[in-house]
């Protein structure tokens, strides 16, 4: 798609396309509303990564399923989120970050309603996978919107506020899930997304300017996108099935081989492509590589620990969902 007619050199254009719009200041009323909208949108995606863990015992009892099926209610969301996030970020730069963010928010909201209405575990797993697609569309677009909307001197503060509140929301998600479970049922943890998403959508439509990368030309990096999705999806699947199936299982072997081949293809495509969605030069700074490695290790450890620790407190120790979540919040993590 071509950039908006009123786009500035930095890639920012007004939501209505009526003409150039000045970059925002962090302390301005509109600046705070933009940050608030992005926090709300990215928070619902982050919360659903962990809040479901608290509800796993209740879901298992209600739908009469075991641990393996319950595992997929968590991992189906992670699978689509991880495999599509690179592609979603690239599309938001080209098609409009505000547009992609709103599309992801709507997608996520519909999927949340489907999760709440799930009559069985198969329906719930499929709806969670659809939720992950919406989360993948929202997460990179929310950060890109903040970076494009604010003046250079205010971007660090705006991004810091977005990251801080998003982190806090993810940390309190288990407690929120426990409270909703005691107040109603596990279906309420999905329905709570609807009013939050509605407020985020209204604020985004009213106050967030459209932006895109006006320096991009030519077609999108579809070969790289396909290879990236295949690499991330197969690698995630291989990690998920390894504990239960083992290294020698056909499913793990096929996923591992596909992950290696598609990763190699992705590296070649991004290195040789004229418009790569992930330029290799971005990894040149050692600080960038170290920060990403640390984020991967910390988030992976916390996610795995929460998946085991919280249900164990409920099932083995007999704690209520709220008490189990409280222990999680007080844990060293």
Q: In this structure, what CATH number is given to the domain that contains residue 71?
A: 1.20.1250.20
Tokens of 8: 């500035």
Q: Would 118 be classed as within a structural domain?
A: yes
The total of structural domains in the chain comes to 1
Integer CA distances (angstroms), 10 to 89, 138, 278, 280, in order: 17, 21, 19, 22
User: Residues 6 or more apart from 139 whose CB is under 8 A from it?
Assistant: 42, 45, 46, 81, 85, 88
Please check the confidence at residue 121 and state whether its pLDDT lies above 80: yes
| Size (the chain), residues | 333
Specify the higher pLDDT residue, 153 or 114. Answer: 114
* Helix 121-149 and helix 97-116, axial crossing angle in degrees, nearest 10: 160
pLDDT bin (cut points 50, 70, 90) of residue 10 is very low
Give me the half-sphere count of Cα atoms (radius 13 Å) on the Cβ side of residue 46: 22
> 3-state DSSP call for residue 150?
strand
Q: Would 326 be classed as within a structural domain?
A: no
The predicted-structure confidence for 162-216, as pLDDT tens digits, reads as follows 888 877 777 777 777 778 887 778 898 898 889 989 999 999 999 998 888 777 6
Instruction: State how far the Cα of 46 lies from the Cα of 54, in Å rounded to an integer.
Output: 14
Integer CA distances (angstroms), 192 to 65, 86, 227, 253, in order: 24, 27, 35, 39
pLDDT at position 321 is 66
**What's the domain range around 46?**
29-216
User: Residues 6 or more apart from 148 whose CB is under 8 A from it?
Assistant: 10, 11, 12, 97, 211
Q: Would 279 be classed as within a structural domain?
A: no
Q: Would 301 be classed as within a structural domain?
A: no
pLDDT at position 260 is 95
Burial state string for 69-93 with b = 16 or more CB within 10 A and e = fewer than 16: bbbbbbbbbbbbbbbbbbbbbbbbb
With CA atoms as reference, report the closest residue to 131 among 180, 186, 193: 193
Q: Would 133 be classed as within a structural domain?
A: yes
Q: Would 308 be classed as within a structural domain?
A: no
pLDDT at position 147 is 87
Q: What does pLDDT average to over the chain?
A: 80
What is the value of pTM for the model shown? 0.78
Which residues face 150 on adjacent strands? 24
Q: Would 302 be classed as within a structural domain?
A: no
Q: Would 82 be classed as within a structural domain?
A: yes
Which residues face 24 on adjacent strands? 150
Integer CA distances (angstroms), 122 to 20, 47, 73, 135, in order: 48, 22, 9, 20
């Amino acid at each position: 798609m071509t950039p908006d007619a009123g786009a500035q050199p930095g890639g920012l254009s007004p939501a209505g396309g009526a003409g150039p719009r000045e970059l925002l200041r962090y302390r301005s009323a509109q600046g705070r509303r933009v940050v608030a909208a992005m926090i709300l949108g990215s928070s619902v995606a982050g919360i659903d990564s962990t809040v479901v863990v608290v509800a796993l015992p209740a879901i298992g009892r209600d739908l009469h399923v075991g641990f393996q099926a319950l595992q997929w209610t968590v991992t189906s969301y992670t699978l689509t989120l991880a495999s599509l996030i690179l592609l979603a970020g690239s599309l938001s730069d080209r098609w409009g970050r505000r547009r992609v963010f709103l599309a992801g928010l709507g997608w996520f909201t519909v999927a949340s309603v489907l999760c709440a209405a799930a009559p069985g575990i198969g329906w719930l797993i499929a709806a969670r996978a659809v939720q992950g697609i919406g989360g993948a569309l929202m997460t990179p677009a929310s950060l890109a919107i903040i970076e494009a909307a604010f003046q250079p001197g205010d971007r660090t503060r705006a991004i810091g506020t977005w990251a801080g509140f998003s982190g806090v929301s993810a940390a309190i998600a288990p407690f929120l899930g426990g409270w909703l479970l005691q107040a109603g049922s596990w279906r309420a943890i999905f329905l709570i997304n609807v009013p939050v998403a509605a407020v985020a959508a209204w604020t985004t439509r009213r106050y967030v300017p459209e932006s895109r990368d006006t320096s991009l030309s030519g077609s999108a990096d579809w070969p790289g996108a396909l290879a990236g999705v295949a690499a991330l999806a197969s690698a995630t699947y291989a990690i998920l099935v390894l504990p239960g199936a083992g290294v020698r299982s056909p499913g793990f072997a096929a996923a591992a081989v596909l992950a290696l081949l598609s990763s190699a293809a992705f590296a070649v495509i991004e290195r040789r492509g004229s418009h790569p969605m992930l330029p290799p030069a971005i990894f040149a700074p050692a600080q960038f590589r170290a920060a990403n490695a640390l984020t991967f290790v910390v988030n992976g450890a916390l996610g795995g620990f929460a998946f085991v620790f919280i249900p164990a407190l409920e099932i083995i120790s007999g704690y209520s969902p709220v008490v189990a979540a409280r222990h999680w919040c007080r844990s060293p993590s």
